[in-house]
């Protein structure tokens, strides 16, 4: 913890990545276009963990978000010069390899004695049998099924860690902190706990920090990105990524750097607050349970929204685990059907595919088949009115099942429609659809005492 005499009045924390694949301009512009104390970067979604685990199985030195290392290569000299501290869950399923890659970047730029912390312990894939032997059934939080029903098909298992290990890393002087499946809000919570010296049972302040992290976790989604009233959002090309101006009492202001695009107002912030919302009175994180119904929002200036009044309750005695498992295969093909009667022709194309497959002894049950006509309102089925005769539609047809072979056979019947189907069939440029693994999500809980977290500080 930061000593009482070293407390700051304001700490500036920004988030420059909402997911792996977000624009590199987020962190670049945050570092270059305004003041900053901490830069956080959130790379991990649930399916990302299984992808990274497969990468690591093929090449043991991989398994982390390489975009993070690319970003550091571009920005590290400026980060060091300005004293910005960086916190990321880019480590995926191989945080130590990610940290060592960061060390290599520091050496490349001639930066010595840079402290880079690696947080490990969230990856419990190899511990699942032991945890179940100790009495952890790891039941699916939605269905109640025990994990034993899919044990042989699991591809990744990672605990959502909290802010504590990051706080420890910062206390050890780390300027770069890399972890695995650290929960999204915890990336923002940790620097506030560290800088303001909050205790880990100061529930109201921890809850407020959770709200700050939740608002920031999707990057520009709280500054006008993905916003319903999009016409009033200025200069999306230069949208500013969010910055929190946090204070010791737990209140904070959501803003962005001056001169950037986008908007920060009550509507854009509220839109993000209700994103992925379950019970608003019990928003459960690893460190605290936040009551979102106590949040007070106030517009205090242009692109400045003050958040205060957040109340919290003690944390639960469990961590959530993100488990990915292999649940069969899928194959999806796509064609454009143009000209008069496009809808009727597209439906005929789909019927022809499955009739021809049946002629060759390959059949799919109705629940294994998906047929969509993009351009007819399928994205908002039942809400929008279907056009009578659009000039073209996109036929998207897919199948799924436990075995890959029938799906591969399905893929061979899409392109023949170009010459043996109705007129106007085009747009097949993506190659023959192939069977792909279906990765499903299995959420479970594990007692916190079962999880051992390790923080290691490396130096360049």
pLDDT of residue 165: 98
Asked if the structure places residue 145 within a domain, the reply is: no
pLDDT of residue 1: 41
Residue 155 above 60 pLDDT? yes
pLDDT of residue 6: 59
Q: What span, in angstroms and rounded, lies between the C-alpha atoms of 299 and 283?
A: 24
Asked if the structure places residue 425 within a domain, the reply is: yes
Query: To which residue do tokens 């300027």 refer?
Result: 175
Residue 100 above 60 pLDDT? yes
Is residue 310 located within the same domain as residue 337? no
Query: To which residue do tokens 């799919």 refer?
Result: 364
| Average pLDDT of the segment spanning 241-250 | 98
Is residue 14 located within the same domain as residue 100? yes
Asked if the structure places residue 139 within a domain, the reply is: no
| Domain housing 339 | 326-441
Is residue 308 located within the same domain as residue 332? no
Give the end of a domain, one of 283, 316, 349: 316
Is residue 304 located within the same domain as residue 341? no
Burial of 361 (0-12, 13-18, 19+ CB in 10 A): exposed
Q: What span, in angstroms and rounded, lies between the C-alpha atoms of 447 and 449?
A: 5
| Average pLDDT of the segment spanning 291-312 | 98
Is residue 226 located within the same domain as residue 374? no
75's enclosing H/E stretch is helix 66-82
Asked if the structure places residue 164 within a domain, the reply is: yes
pLDDT of residue 304: 98
| Average pLDDT of the segment spanning 103-129 | 97
Q: What span, in angstroms and rounded, lies between the C-alpha atoms of 110 and 77?
A: 9
* Per-residue pLDDT tens over the stretch 339-392: 999 999 999 999 999 999 999 999 999 999 999 999 999 888 888 887 888 999
Residue 280 above 80 pLDDT? yes
| Average pLDDT of the segment spanning 270-274 | 96
Work out how many domains the chain is built from and give that number. 2
pLDDT of residue 17: 95
Asked if the structure places residue 271 within a domain, the reply is: yes
174 or 21: which carries more pLDDT confidence? Answer: 174
Asked if the structure places residue 287 within a domain, the reply is: yes
* Per-residue pLDDT tens over the stretch 56-77: 888 989 999 999 999 999 999 9
Q: Which CATH number fits the domain that encloses residue 387? A: 3.30.70
Asked if the structure places residue 429 within a domain, the reply is: yes
Give the end of a domain, one of 263, 291, 316: 316
For the chain, how long is the longest CA-to-CA vector?
80
Locate 180 and state its tokens: 């695995």
Is residue 49 located within the same domain as residue 73? yes
Q: What span, in angstroms and rounded, lies between the C-alpha atoms of 12 and 293?
A: 25
**Helix-helix angle 266-273:203-216, to 10 degrees:** 100
Residue 274 above 90 pLDDT? yes
396's enclosing H/E stretch is strand 392-401
Query: To which residue do tokens 């005769």 refer?
Result: 389
Is residue 337 located within the same domain as residue 253? no
| Average pLDDT of the segment spanning 149-158 | 94
Residue 277 above 90 pLDDT? no
Is residue 418 located within the same domain as residue 303? no
What's the gap between Cα 29 and its chain centre?
Answer: 21
Residue 4 above 50 pLDDT? no
Q: What span, in angstroms and rounded, lies between the C-alpha atoms of 295 and 208?
A: 8
Is residue 377 located within the same domain as residue 340? yes
pLDDT of residue 73: 98
Is residue 88 located within the same domain as residue 201? yes
The CA-based dihedral angle spanning residues 151, 152, 154, 160, taken in that order and rounded to the nearest 10 degrees: 30
Is residue 292 located within the same domain as residue 409? no
Which CA distances in Å does 65 have to 104, 151, 191? 15, 26, 22
| Average pLDDT of the segment spanning 250-269 | 98
Residue 230 above 50 pLDDT? yes
Q: If pLDDT is split at 50, 70 and 90, which confidence band does 50 have?
A: confident
Residues in the chain: 460
Is residue 331 located within the same domain as residue 244? no
Asked if the structure places residue 367 within a domain, the reply is: yes
């Amino acid at each position: 913890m930061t000593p009482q005499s070293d407390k700051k009045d304001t700490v500036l924390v920004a988030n420059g990545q909402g997911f792996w694949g977000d624009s590199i301009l987020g962190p670049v512009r945050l570092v270059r276009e305004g003041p900053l104390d901490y830069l956080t970067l959130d790379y991990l979604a649930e399916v990302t963990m299984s992808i990274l685990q497969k990468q690591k199985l093929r090449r043991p030195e991989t398994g982390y978000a390489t975009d993070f290392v690319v970003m550091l290569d571009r920005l590290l000299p400026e980060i060091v010069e300005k004293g910005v501290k960086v916190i990321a869950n880019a480590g995926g399923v191989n945080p130590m390899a990610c940290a060592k890659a960061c060390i290599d970047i520091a050496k490349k730029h001639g930066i010595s004695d840079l402290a880079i912390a690696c947080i490990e312990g969230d990856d419990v894939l190899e511990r699942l049998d032991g945890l179940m032997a100790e009495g952890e059934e790891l039941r699916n939080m939605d269905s109640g099924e025990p994990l034993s029903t899919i044990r042989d098909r699991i591809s990744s298992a990672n605990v959502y860690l909290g802010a504590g290990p990051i706080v420890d890393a910062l206390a050890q002087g780390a300027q770069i902190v890399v972890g695995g499946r650290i929960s999204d809000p915890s990336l923002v919570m940790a620097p506030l706990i560290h800088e303001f010296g909050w205790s880990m049972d100061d529930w109201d302040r921890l809850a407020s920090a959770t709200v700050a992290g939740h608002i920031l976790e999707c990057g520009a989604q709280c500054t006008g990105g993905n916003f319903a009233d999009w016409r009033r959002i200025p200069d999306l090309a230069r949208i500013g990524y969010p910055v929190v101006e946090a204070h010791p009492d737990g209140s904070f202001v959501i803003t962005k750097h001056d001169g950037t695009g986008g908007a920060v107002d009550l509507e854009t912030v509220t839109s993000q607050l209700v994103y992925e919302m379950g019970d608003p009175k019990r928003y459960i994180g690893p460190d605290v349970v936040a009551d979102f119904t106590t949040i007070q929002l106030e517009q205090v200036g242009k692109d400045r929204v003050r958040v205060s009044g957040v109340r919290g309750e003690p944390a639960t005695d469990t961590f959530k685990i993100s488990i990915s498992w292999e649940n069969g295969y899928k194959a999806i093909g796509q064609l454009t059907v143009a000209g008069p009667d496009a809808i009727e022709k597209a439906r005929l194309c789909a019927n022809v595919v499955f009739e021809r497959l049946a002629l060759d002894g390959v059949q799919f049950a109705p629940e294994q088949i998906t047929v969509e006509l993009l351009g007819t309102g399928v994205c908002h089925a039942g809400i929008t009115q279907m056009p009578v005769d659009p000039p073209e539609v996109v036929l998207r047809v897919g199948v799924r099942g436990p075995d890959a072979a029938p799906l591969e056979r399905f893929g061979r019947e899409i392109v023949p429609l170009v010459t043996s189907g109705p007129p106007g069939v085009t747009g097949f440029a993506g190659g023959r659809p192939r069977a792909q693994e279906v990765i499903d999500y299995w959420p479970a809980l594990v007692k916190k005492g079962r999880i051992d977290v390790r923080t290691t500080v490396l130096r360049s």
